[in-house]
Amino acid sequence: MNKTSLNLSKFLSAKVWIAIAVVLFVAIFVLVANRVYHSQPAKVVVNAKNLDAAQYQKLNTAMSKKQAGSFFTAVLPELKDSVMQQDWISQVDIERKWGEGIVITALPREPIAKFGSEHLIDSQGKVFKPVSESELSQDGLIMLQGDAEQSSLIMQQMQQVNQWFAPLKMQVDDLVLTPRMTWAIRFNNGMRIIVDNEHTSQKLMNLSQLLQNQLADKRGQIQAVDLRYKNGFVIDWKKDSAPDKVEMNQRSDTQKTASTQKATSSTSEQNKNTNNSSLANEPQAAASRPSSQQTN
């Protein structure tokens, strides 16, 4: 055997051993990786950030029952959907953190009003049940009522009314949308307004302008305003506060209408049956009040 053949044999032997070594390394790597990949279920950790004690406890209890899979096989979108089934949660972020597990960071909804007696509502009009009943008694929450399917409309209306009456420093305390689509509003100064679903926005904006101008000096004497009329409205004055006469000029987009308030006549029998404390009376009943004056 010559020297060239010997060198080639050594070279081939070295390549074989290298190939064997590579195959063994890959096989071991695959086995280890597979074992790690399909290891025991990953720990699901709820981040306490942004949550109070009751919210953390509720979410942690719900997630402890969830089978998330291993650290690498856990399907994060499915886990996120599971978290969002908690209607009081607004946003959620889920990530894999080596050494910790699957970490859930949730952001609770921020209520700005009560919706009925058992629910809250956020600025987006989303109705949800709070984790703790104590959340229903928070200071500064407005009371909204109506069909939950109309919650976005109710929230939008409340925000618009607050904007229109902000120059008067009047803010909504209570707002109700009835099944007949009638709006009943009570402000923080005690004034109440009832308005139907026809030209609602225009009627409310016009009233805001009147209260800032023609009725500015009489604003403190007004108890309630009924806007459910096509060509006017009824003012229910506070007791012993009804003025003899009020001159008002009201301008629309296309014309200016001059109108004078006049006292509405009523019989003594009607006086006995009039309920001045209810804003939800029918227009005919509102017009029969002895302390009311109607604009035509």
pLDDT over 50 at 87, yes or no: yes
pTM over 0.85: no
Quick: pLDDT tens for 110-126.
999 999 989 999 988 99
pLDDT over 70 at 260, yes or no: no
pLDDT at 207 (0 to 100) = 96
pLDDT over 50 at 154, yes or no: yes
Quick: pLDDT tens for 95-112.
888 888 889 999 999 999
pLDDT at 45 (0 to 100) = 86
Quick: pLDDT tens for 34-62.
554 445 667 888 999 999 999 999 999 98
Quick: pLDDT tens for 185-232.
999 999 999 999 999 999 999 999 999 999 999 999 999 999 999 888
pLDDT over 50 at 289, yes or no: no
Q: Which residue shows structure tokens 């976005």? A: 152
Q: What is the mean pLDDT of the chain?
A: 77
Mean pLDDT of 63-75: 74
Say how far apart CA 105 and CA 93 lie, in whole Å: 5
Closest C-alpha among 101, 98, 95, 107 to residue 59: 107
